[in-house]
Structure 1
Amino acid sequence: MKREATERSHYLVMDSITLFFLFSAFFTASAQQIQSNVSRGSSLTPTTNSTWLSRSGLYAFGFYKEGNGYAVGIFMAGIPEKTVVWTANRDDPPVSRNATLLFASDGRLVLQMGQEQVAVVAESSGSASASMLNSGNFVIYNSDQGIIWQSFGHPTDTLLPSQRLVAGQGLFSSISDTQHSTGIFLLTMQGDGNLVQYPADDISVATAYFATSAGGLGDNVTLNFDADGHLYLLNATGFNIITNLTNGGYPTEDTIYLMRLDADGIFRIYSHHLKQKGNWSIEWQSSNDACRPKGLCGLNGFCVLNDQKAGCACLPGFDMVQQGNWTAGCERNFDVNSCKSNNGDIKYNMQEVSNTTWEDVSYSVLTRPDKDSCAQACLADCNCEAVLFKGRTCRKQRLPLRYGRRQISDTDTALIKVTHTNDTIKAGKLPRTRDSESQRHGGYGS
């Protein structure tokens, strides 16, 4: 196995050399004007001299358009789509055109807005120079040319070839393809050697929706990504492959790859042909089930597949919290004053949502012969807001319900307590989930 890994490393080095000369040749005209070394006192502005380019001209560090302003990050400048691969201070609001990115005389890399300065890299104090490398890695050096910080060590939602995810690191999805602040999904390389996906706000065994192993695979395991699209886990020695997520072997001539945790919670490997017009193409994805990511439809909403595309629906008696944003979930569209009227008559009924699964947070589990008797048990209990019924098991729930999805093959039924006037399910399509057409053609840009 060690010999195999050594041979593979040799070929990957050769691939990297080939890619370097490919990029150099492909961007010859522009590369002649490029200086990759950045010295103290250098600065950038959004409208003039806005980036520091790699020698190949493929990657750029600096300002890119974000919403109504600008953000600082790394993107591919050498292709028509300026694909963002790393973002600094990703949850800060965009800055205006009057901002300045400054590599200050004391070695700090800061974003200056009037009298205010915000650190772009916290560990940059005392640095001597920086460089945007051909690999897409932005590095900062000390006076001895030792690397004191690199973007590859602080990934956001993307891995580039030769970049790795070490134990304790994770990728957080972006809100959307064009909004790069932190989204709702996490892919993390755990300390036990397991690569796992969770809803970002609820990391527990019960909420994981992707994992490379049911148990631990050892300490200091890393997720690695090679130039030929090979995605795999290495043990602590760095020589033995534990798990292959992909086998690699994708064409490397005139082609580049990236791995991204997308806004819809699925991570994918994309390819882009440098000499052909077109967008990014999907080579591999962690799941073909668009409803698999938990939390896609928010609280009290559930995911529905339509021609393999993800859509969302609200529970009966609920409406979207934010129009156009299903991840914000659903809320009641009626007032809840009291469980029963003054004369003791129940003024609610139960609406059925069949073939759906939900997170089970039951406060009471009963045995009932049928759905009707399960529904009556909820109506008679003022604490009960919904029940999950399967077989003869009736599970009482309080709201909100989470992680809902429709599965036609499942016999689970949710029964929701609503007023007599509520008898419909509000449904719609996820505005931020990529449909099959956009997945074929990519769609990343700044």
Structure 2
Amino acid sequence: MLVIFLSLLLITGFSTAIAQQRNSSNISLGSSLSPNANPYWLSGSGQFAFGFYEKDDGFAIGIWLEKIRQKTVVWTANRDNPPLSINVTLLLTNDGRLVLEQEQGQQTALTNNALFSASSASMLNTGNFVLYNSSSNIIWQTFDAPTDTILPGQPLLAGNKLVSSSSETSHARGKFQLIMQHDGNLVQYPSDIPPKANDYAYWDSKTFDARDNISLNLDRNGQLFLRNLTGIHIKNLNGQGNTSDNFSLYRLTLGFDGILRLYSHRLDQDNDNWSIEWSPSSSNCDPIGLCGLNAYCTVKEQKAVCTCPPGFDFLDGRQPDLGCKRNSSTDGCTSKNGETVDILQELGRVEWEDNPYSILSLTKTECRENCSKDCECEAALFKEQECRKQKFPLRFGRERQDNSGTTIIKVRFGSSNTTQVSKRRKKQQGMGVLIGSSVILAFAVGILAITGILIYRCRVREYKKIKNQGNDGLIEEVSLRSYTYGELEKATNGFTDEVGKGAFGTVFKGVIDNGKTLVAVKRLETVVAESEREFRNEMKAIGRTHHKNLVKLFGYCHDGTNRLLVYEYMNNGSLADFLFKSRRKPSWEEKTGIALNVARGILYLHDECESQIIHCDIKPENILMDEQKCTKIADFGLAKLLMPNQTRTYTGIRGTRGYVAPEWHRNLPITLKADVYSFGILLLEIICGRRNVDVDLPEEEVVLANWVFDCFEAGELDRLVKDEQVEMNKLERMVRVGLWCIQEEPSFRPTMKRVVLMLEGTVEIPAPPSPTPFSSAM
């Protein structure tokens, strides 16, 4: 009987497999799809489609339910890539490769089965897109590479995971992940937390002793369960499912909000509705990391809402989930007439990441007093007679209905939250203070009137002086001085003291103002046909740029064919000297300060000038250092300018090899992101204290960017700094910033505003992908 039963089972299974293949679309070699003609291949039932769907202002490749009007996407290829243009083609080539072909003919493989050639493909009724070999065996399938969803019959194997989408409308990787761990436990984490960091798990199946080779499974009746290799059910997660319902389709999706939900859809009803059948979360604020740094999650009208604690405002009011920043920059632990400038405010039932620098056994009153007197203490988490003192930023804030204790936050005096406190203090002032203020006010008005008269007379004299001097004595900070060639020849002693030479010309040391002011005079040696117009436009814009991290331009010379620039003299050389030549290497604190100062300088050029400026040549030689070792960006006066209504420009290649962005070499539009790339390379050089290419090093370390990413992936960042004393979390933050900046695709790179926020520690940084393109199974 057993033999007969097994034979029947085998025949039934074989028949089912044949039927499944017949109820699918068979796709032959040479077949193709394009967004504007034949955009997808349907399954045999017409329920699922594989091909191009609309994404933002372009297209993406994925699988969706075609019979539902509002397409439900269940799988996406290369989900983090920018939208595809209408001119691309998806091709199953005659030699058995599934490739994406660009308009220029460039092909990118969509699968990782390079060792095997497909003979055909099929969109199965299960929602699985597969490639077959000549023996009709599956050699690649989308079920092996899930994105945020699994379907009935699609197991989530040990070591695999679902990653949420970034928003309701974007299928790019988001903040949360569901991992089927090798220890048998199914766990939800924030995406940027290393697996098995159990303190950050916000749900798990509690099967951590089930061992390896456990898989998560969903059957066609909607039953969700864990099973081992022998077929034994380890645990049912949602009961027995619905065995009598043959008209529902199920899917398990990790939502962009971090909530895992099992959905059902009635196939026999003409609607787009999905019903929630099961979820392990009881609150929409259960996911850890839903809100950014210094923000916490609250539930309002059954929706998760990010909120700022006292003394904080949103980084971006339009995107509350980015986090919060202090609304006052006043330093603590200062006082005036014995009165503290800080007040303490309390926040109840909010849970944060537990990362204290000091733990004390105190009452709440004692905890408040202790934090108030401690300059290091910026917040304290008080619970069960324990005072856990913290520094900002706070992370992973969630409102909890259980006893999560009290958050004591030190709010800076003068912020919007302390306005009423300030008013109460003012009302407590005596009548004597009021009379004294009146006397002081009257005296101040008299002084103001006298000062106004003196200033007026001084301005009249200065105006007359400027008028008499013509174009030679414009007031500093108002405009640039225009020098004659003879004046600068004299100032530089006939251009004899050369201090440097760059791509744009030679730099000479000189003196102006009767020997009182040292200057650096750059003589431009290459003049192009349109240089006169470009030169004057750039001088006009530079006259309006003032920032502490930009080398100050005193004036210029436009005398015949001579073009010269007069800068402030920086007597501590360049960042290249400090990093690569100096005997005393910069400390880690100096490195972080240098990186942040350079980033702020570039941010000013990009976002805070009246005319946006692309520097085009960010490198250590163009970062100069003054007497206090403050870093300042040079040569920005020779960058290509963008008018207010432009976002990109085409131009000849500028910059230095190794620092120029990939788009320079492809004749693509150059945007502000070109500077972001150069800054990323510079940042990695600052971190590691070496050049971006060094052929004297071992082969795997020659190209700095590749080596840094390899170390990042392997969890060996300590190799980058050798014996230097560095906090590893701060090192990883800077490495992540650098790797995001050097992404080959410009749209992947952050803006400089975002870079500054990341370096300051104000926003979280997700794990970066490889800086260079790669093909994978997605």
Structure 1 length as normaliser, TM-score? 0.83
| 1:377 pairs with 2:331 | no
Are 2:292 and 1:298 equivalent residues in the alignment?
yes
SS of 1:395's equivalent?
Answer: strand
* 1:185 match: 176
**In the aligned structure 2, how far is the partner of 1:89 from the partner of 1:231?**
27
**Cα deviation, residue 349, structure 1:** 1.8
The reply to whether residue 316 of structure 1 matches residue 305 of structure 2 is no
Give CA deviations for 1:395-424 in whole Å, capped at 9, x if unaligned: 100111112122244251111122123364
Asked if 1:153 is matched to 2:144, the reply is yes
Structure 2 SS opposite 1:152? helix
Aligned to 2:237: 245
1:85 aligns with 2:74: yes
Q: Distance in 2 between matches of 1:289 and 1:381?
A: 36
- SS at structure 1 position matched to 2:322: strand
Task: Give yes or no for contact 1:219–1:236 (8 Å, CA) kept in 2.
Answer: no
Distance in 2 between the 1:267 and 1:138 partners? 24
Equivalent pair of 2:186/2:207 in contact (CA under 8 Å): no
Instruction: State the match for 1:272 in structure 2.
Output: 265
Change (3 A) 1:113 1:396: same
Aligned position for 1:412 = 405
Q: Is the 8 A contact 1:39 1:128 kept in 2?
A: yes
Return 150-159 or 262-271, whichever deviates more.
262-271
CA contact (8 A) 1:296 1:326 kept: no
Partner of 1:261: 254
SS in 1 for 2:110: strand
Q: How far has the Cα of 1:72 moved from its partner?
A: 0.2
Q: 1:123 maps to which residue?
A: 113
- Counterparts in 2 of 1:334 and 1:106: CA distance versus 1, 3 Å: farther
Q: How does 1:13-412 map to 2 (within 5 A)?
A: 36-115=25-104, 116-123=106-113, 126-203=117-194, 204-213=197-206, 215-237=208-230, 239-246=231-238, 247-249=240-242, 251-278=244-271, 279-337=273-331, 339-340=333-334, 346-371=340-365, 373-410=366-403, 412=405
Kept in 2, the 8 Å contact 1:142–1:148? The answer is yes
**Structure 1 partner of 2:641:** none
Separation of aligned partners in 2, 1:153 and 1:217: 22
Once the 2 structures are TM-superposed, how far is the Cα of residue 346 of structure 1 from its aligned partner?
3.7
> 3-state SS of the aligned residue for 1:90?
coil
Distance (whole Å) between structure 1 residues aligned to residue 303 and residue 244 of structure 2 = 29
After TM superposition, give the deviation of residue 210 of structure 1 in Å: 0.8
How far apart, in 2, do the equivalents of 1:419 and 1:294 lie? 28
- Which is worse superposed, 165-174 or 382-391? 382-391
Deviation of 1:344 after TM superposition, in Å, equals 7.8
SS, match of residue 368 in structure 2: helix
Distance 1:398 1:411 in 2: 19
| Contact 2:347/2:407 (<8 A) preserved | yes
How far apart are 1:236 and its partner, in Å?
2.4
Deviations 1:67-117 (A, max 9, x none): 121100111112223210000000001112112112223322222222333
1:122 & 1:111 partners in 2: Cα distance? Answer: 13
CA contact 1:44–1:100 (8 Å) conserved in 2: yes
Give percent identity, aligned residues only: 47
Offset, 1:392: 2.2
Distance, in Å, in 2 between the alignment partners of 1:111 and 1:235 is 37
Deviation at 1:214, TM superposition (A): 6.0
Q: Secondary structure at the match of 2:126?
A: coil
267-276 or 324-333, larger mean C-alpha shift:
324-333
Counterparts of 1:305 and 1:250, CA distance in 2: 35
Amino acid at match of 1:348: D
Q: 82-91 vs 35-44, which deviates more?
A: 35-44
Per the TM alignment, residue 228 of structure 1 is displaced from its structure 2 partner at its CA by: 0.3
Distance 1:164 1:424, change over 3 A: farther
Contact 2:42-2:48 within 8 A present in 1 as well: yes
User: In the superposition, relative to structure 1, how do residues 408 and 256 fare at CA in structure 2: closer, same or farther (>3 Å)?
Assistant: closer
Check whether the contact 2:331–2:412 (CA below 8 A) recurs between aligned residues. Answer: no
Report the CA distance between 1:317 and its aligned residue.
1.9
Match of 2:449 in 1: none
Give the strand-richer structure, 1 or 2. Answer: 1
> Could you say what the CA RMSD is over the residues aligned between the two structures, in angstroms?
2.7
Unmatched 5+ stretches in structure 1: 1-5, 25-34, 426-446
Is the CA contact (8 Å cut-off) linking 1:157 and 1:173 kept in structure 2? yes
Structure 1 window deviating more from structure 2 (380-389 vs 339-348): it is 339-348
In 2, the alpha carbon distance for the partners of 1:178 and 1:129 equals: 32
Task: String of CA shifts for 1:25-54, please: whole Å, max 9, x gaps.
Answer: xxxxxxxxxx71222222111121000111
- 2: CA distance between counterparts of 1:253 and 1:104? 38
Aligned residue type for 2:120: S
The alpha-carbon deviation at position 386 of structure 1 amounts to 0.8
Do the aligned partners of 1:295 and 1:327 also contact (CA within 8 Å) in 2? no
Aligned mates of 1:98, 1:173 — CA distance in 2: 29
Determine helix, strand or coil for the equivalent of 2:323: strand
Q: Given that residues 229 and 249 in structure 1 are in contact (C-alpha distance below 8 angstroms), is that contact kept between their aligned partners in structure 2?
A: yes
Letter in 2 for 1:333: N
- Describe the SS at the equivalent of 1:387: strand
Larger C-alpha radius of gyration, 1 or 2?
Answer: 2
Indicate how the Cα distance of structure 1 residues 39 and 322 shifts in structure 2: closer, same or farther if over 3 A, else same: farther
- Conservation of the 8 A alpha-carbon contact between 2:249 and 2:267: yes
Change (3 A) 1:342 1:103: farther
- Shift in alpha-carbon separation, 1:78–1:398, aligned structure 2, 3 A: same
Contact 1:352 1:413 in 2 (8 A): yes
Structure 1 residue 357: deviation in Å?
A: 1.3
Q: CA deviation at 1:271?
A: 1.1
